[in-house]
A and B are shown apart, each in its own frame.
Chain A
Amino acid sequence: MVVAGRASLQDLGRHGAEQLGLSVNGAADQLSAMEANALVGNGLDAVVLELLVFDVELLATSVALVAVAGAEHQLTVGGRDVLPHQPVVVLPGERVRVHLLGRGARCYLAVNGGFAAPRLLGSAAPDPIVGFGDLVGVGDRLPFRSRFGGLSHPFSGIPLFRFPRTARRWPAEWVVEMTAAPVAGGVADPDVLCSGYVVDTMSDHVGLRLGGAALLPRPGGEPVSRGVPVGAVEVPPSGQPIVLLRGRLVTAGYPVAAVVTTSSLALLGQARPGQRLTFRWQERGAAVLRWRRDLAQIADLADAVARCFTAVGLGEVLVDRMAEADPVRGVSFS
């Protein structure tokens, strides 16, 4: 068995704790995490398994309804190829193998009912800075709570779902949209960002380090440390920009050249080292509309899944109908 890359349990992040200096954290590609949850009838914020540049096998110890969304991947269940980005029934003893293909960096594996995980201030998202949450490793057991009791197709025995894909298409050119940052605490010429950058190998959940043309701070000294949003394009004295990600430090004293839009941040959650990025200015209003369209697609998918599950007699697995007393099941990470 081969396991390469990193796996962690994630949700959409820890809101309300930034006053304590705890960054929001959570799934790097928020849209794919939501999509995986939508496909198995979960609330969009349920705990999922985030797989970063991976090749992984899970052994189901009970029946489960799972879905994988995100980076291009090949999914096999019990040795048979299954359609990616769809709900899949997994029987006890079957192995689920997720194998990364060409494009994207992260996949999200959701199970109906959501994975059980410890929480800090309401969220399961690991925060490496304060030492909360661990990577998931070989041999770990991942319990979940689900009312899914199995489903068999009347003729083939293997149920097959085919919901419309909301997954992004992988463009030849990765366009990252950004809005203007306040002039105070900015850089001399933010348009330099439009010259194109390559993702550096030093990147992590704190920041996406970029290589390319250097930016210069505005004359007049360093800005006072101030809160900076996720997506801020920070410029340290080396001039090489860093896009701050969900594990950023909440305050920063470096100049900020621009802010990547919420929608484009989901795309950056799929950027691997070496990826070439094209930055483009966007109006704030258009950026907000784009994000709302992204969310509307996920909401439409969740509606379609709910209607379909109800029609085939699976209505009770939909998360809002679940009771506290549901059985705890598990998959092993092998």
Chain B
Amino acid sequence: MTVEPFGDAAVLVHASAGDPDGRWIAVESLRDALSARPVAAVRDLVVSFEHLLVQFDPARTDAGTVIAALADRAAGAGGGGPAPSGQVLRVPVVFGGRHGPDLVEAADHVGTSPEVLVAAVTAQPLLVRFLGAGIEPMCTRPGSPPPVPRRRVPRSRVEAGSVGLAAANLTIYPFTSPGGWQLIGRTPATLCDVAREPLAPYRAGDLLQLVPVDESAWDQHTGPLGG
């Protein structure tokens, strides 16, 4: 793992060795170790596929102190990552058309047809690797899929429930927000609600099974996800 300062109030940990699973497990294990034994003045952690962003209060500590503490925590980290929860959430998705405006373009990028691309992302449950921006369930597509590039100009508005692809990854936007991923479909279900506790029905280690549904059946699939 490498650790580098990222601005005057954060350091970025990168797990660069091993396969994608091993990298994710390495950063998840470090995050677990930091939760168990917090570092003074560290305020926020952002875990992702192979990185951990550690943000601190620059009035109370500095990058050198935090990097030394991270080395100490890494030495004691378990290495197991989060235990798979066994929870599988069924996610109804309308693919293509106005709900998935980039489906054809995304399929072109990976040299296949929209039908084959949809079959690939619905063939088996997808593992939630971490919660991304706005409580997004960030998943990897199964196998070693060809990468899908992000859009040249990010959209300023992506509708809640949209299913997006970028690189080898898949996500669902829980809230209407800006976004630069290629949109291949949209779920009628509500993923998250700030009035609910917990905010989201999924966490890292859960599985999402995308299920294609017809646009005409949209109204039958609204309501809270998993509810």
Provide the residues of chain B in CB contact with A311, threshold 8 Å.
none
**Inter-subunit contact B180/A254 (CB<8 Å):** yes
When A231-B7, A288-B8 are in contact, do A16 and B44 touch as well, CB less than 8 Å? yes
| B211 at interface, CB cutoff 8 A | no
**Inter-subunit contact A236/B153 (CB<8 Å):** yes
Provide the residues of chain A in CB contact with B8, threshold 8 Å.
179, 259, 261-262, 284, 287-288, 291
Interchain Cβ contacts within 8 Å, total number? 161
A181 to B: closest C-beta gap in Å: 7
When A23-B133, A129-B177, A253-B150 are in contact, do A226 and B51 touch as well, CB less than 8 Å? yes
A contacts with B, residue count (CB < 8 A): 54
Those of B141-189 within 8 Å (CB) of chain A = 147, 149-150, 152-154, 156, 166-167, 169, 174-175, 177-180
**Inter-subunit contact B133/A251 (CB<8 Å):** yes
| B33 at interface, CB cutoff 8 A | no
A182 to B: closest C-beta gap in Å: 5
- B152 interface neighbour in A16, A227, A238, A262, Cβ under 8 Å: A238
A84 to B: closest C-beta gap in Å: 26
Provide the residues of chain A in CB contact with B51, threshold 8 Å.
224, 226-227
What are the interface flags for A207-230 relative to B under an 8 Å C-beta threshold, 1 for contact and 0 otherwise?
000000000000001101111111
What are the interface flags for A229-265 relative to B under an 8 Å C-beta threshold, 1 for contact and 0 otherwise?
1111000111000000000111111100001111000
**Inter-subunit contact A24/B150 (CB<8 Å):** no
The 5 closest A-B pairs by CB, nearest first: A227-B53, A227-B46, A259-B7, A249-B133, A226-B51
Residues in B lying within 8 Å of A, measured CB to CB: 4-10, 12, 14, 31, 43-53, 55, 58-59, 62-63, 131-136, 138, 147, 149-150, 152-154, 156, 166-167, 169, 174-175, 177-180, 192, 194, 199-200
In the complex, besides A227-B48, A288-B62, 17 extra interface pairs with C-beta distance below 8 angstroms are: A16-B44, A20-B135, A21-B132, A24-B44, A130-B199, A131-B175, A206-B178, A224-B48, A231-B9, A238-B152, A250-B46, A250-B53, A250-B133, A253-B166, A253-B167, A284-B8, A292-B59
Residues in A lying within 8 Å of B, measured CB to CB: 15-24, 120, 127, 129-132, 179, 181-182, 184, 202, 206, 221-222, 224-232, 236-238, 248-254, 259-262, 284-285, 287-288, 291-292, 295
